Amino acid sequence: MQFLGFLGGPLGYIMEAIYKFVVSDYGLSLVLFTVLLRVAMFPLRVKQQKSTARMAAYQPMIQEIQKKYAKDKNRQQEELMRLQQEYGYSPTAGCLPMLVNFLVLFGIIEVVYRPLTYILHIPADVITPIADILNVSANSYALQSNIISAVISGNQQVMAALGEYLPAVQDFHVMWGNLNLVAMPTISLAGWMTLIFPMLSIITMVASQFIIQKTSGQELQGSMKWMPWMMSAMFIFVGFTVPVGFSMYYTVSNLLMVIESLLAKKIYDPEKMKAQIAAEIEEKKKAKKAKKKVTVQTEDGQKIQKEVSDAELASLRLQRAREIDAERYADERTVPLTAEERAALEEQLGGKKKKKSDKKQETAQPAAEQVKVEKAEWAQDEAPSEAEQQLAEEKEQAAKELEEEQKGQQDPQE
């Protein structure tokens, strides 16, 4: 869960600022932090409500496509993609607020699991050795809660291990009356107080789901109907496995989300918005069916004015594009060669290669003969200079290499 709690750092600094400069009480800091967070996320809430209303307006069109192409899934996807392009429908438009809320939730869990790290900023090399004293794993989520509870109960070994950080932990006010907000929920008669906020978080969560769905105009279909309840069921488990402080945050957050939903409805009434979007969709449908005047060319070459719909115009453009391609590539072969044509072409290419080879050989022979003539002249006249002799040897070597190359090319042909 820690990898999802990467927001624990920045959220911890906000909690620290509220605790140090506003109220020196862990519980009240959580309440004020929750209020601040919900206010900051209110614009996203409004955006989500608008997206939900828009999705509800598109539902009749989506259902029609799904019913019409129930047996052809590929065509169904194509029609849904066209719906997105032509009408601006986006199935993921309302996902951003949900994702932000999800990440913030895990960031809060990280903070309430490790308040000594994120709020009091006690180094890990001080906290980790205390795990051996308490017989708890160093990676346990309950370690820091156990350290705070041990200091409250007066455990001398833990207090000595904290050293210079002991006063900060002692002044960390986590008690609400007799309720320790960093304690883990305990299902027992002695720990009944630790179950108050987990139970309240479940009750407010269920109530808020009902109210939010009613006020936002959500009409979830198929398996999506159960998605909010599956998420809620997951947090029932979370509420009983994290410190009580998280359940307190979640309870306050659920209540504030209900207030947010009611305010958002006042700003953007989902029913009015659905009616407005439905009217926009009808206008776009009418615009698509409206006839447009275009100039088309008949078979005898005459140009005439014709009224066509968008679909007919697209068909005419496609037909014209095919005609242009046919004219452009008319001279290019579009069928494969027959066996006789392939054999004739190979014979023709072979003849060209042979002529080229003979020409190179003819060029090579005069070069070799020229070298021999030069040597004969040197034999009759005076002895050549050292530079002239070296040049002649280079020419002779080049002539030999050229002859060998021609022989190498002739052998494969034979």
Q: Which residues contact 360 (CB under 8 A, 6 or more apart)?
A: 402, 405, 406, 409
Model pLDDT for residues 330-366, shown as the tens digit of each residue: 666 556 667 777 778 777 777 655 655 555 555 555 5
Mean local confidence (pLDDT), 5-31 = 89
Mean local confidence (pLDDT), 118-123 = 92
Model pLDDT for residues 134-154, shown as the tens digit of each residue: 998 888 888 999 999 999 999
Highest mean pLDDT among 162-166, 257-261, 312-316, 397-401: 162-166
Query: For residues 133-166, b (16+ Cβ closer than 10 Å) or e, as one string?
Result: ebebeeeebbbbbbbbbbbbeebeebbebbeebe
pLDDT at 132 > cutoff 80: yes
**Predicted local confidence at residue 33, as pLDDT:** 93
Model pLDDT for residues 210-235, shown as the tens digit of each residue: 888 777 666 555 555 666 667 667 77
Q: Which residues contact 105 (CB under 8 A, 6 or more apart)?
A: 250
pLDDT at 398 > cutoff 90: no
Report the percentage of the chain scoring pLDDT > 70.
Answer: 70
Query: For residues 298-333, b (16+ Cβ closer than 10 Å) or e, as one string?
Result: eeeeeeeeeeeeeeeeeeeeeeeeeeeeeeeeeeee
Q: How confident is the model at residue 405 (pLDDT cuts 50, 70, 90)?
A: low
**Predicted local confidence at residue 304, as pLDDT:** 73
**Predicted local confidence at residue 413, as pLDDT:** 46
Cα 89 to Cα 47, 58, 81, 413: the distances in Å are 15, 7, 9, 67
Per the CB < 8 A criterion, the answer to whether 291 and 309 are in contact is yes
**Predicted local confidence at residue 414, as pLDDT:** 45
Cα 223 to Cα 66, 142, 227, 230: the distances in Å are 15, 36, 7, 10
Average pLDDT, the chain: 77
**Predicted local confidence at residue 412, as pLDDT:** 47
pLDDT at 56 > cutoff 90: no
**Predicted local confidence at residue 34, as pLDDT:** 92
Per the CB < 8 A criterion, the answer to whether 143 and 136 are in contact is yes
**Predicted local confidence at residue 166, as pLDDT:** 94
Model pLDDT for residues 60-98, shown as the tens digit of each residue: 788 888 888 888 888 888 888 877 777 666 666 667 777
Model pLDDT for residues 244-277, shown as the tens digit of each residue: 998 999 899 999 989 988 888 887 777 777 777 7
Q: Which two tokens stand for residue 352?
A: 């060209």
pLDDT at 378 > cutoff 60: no
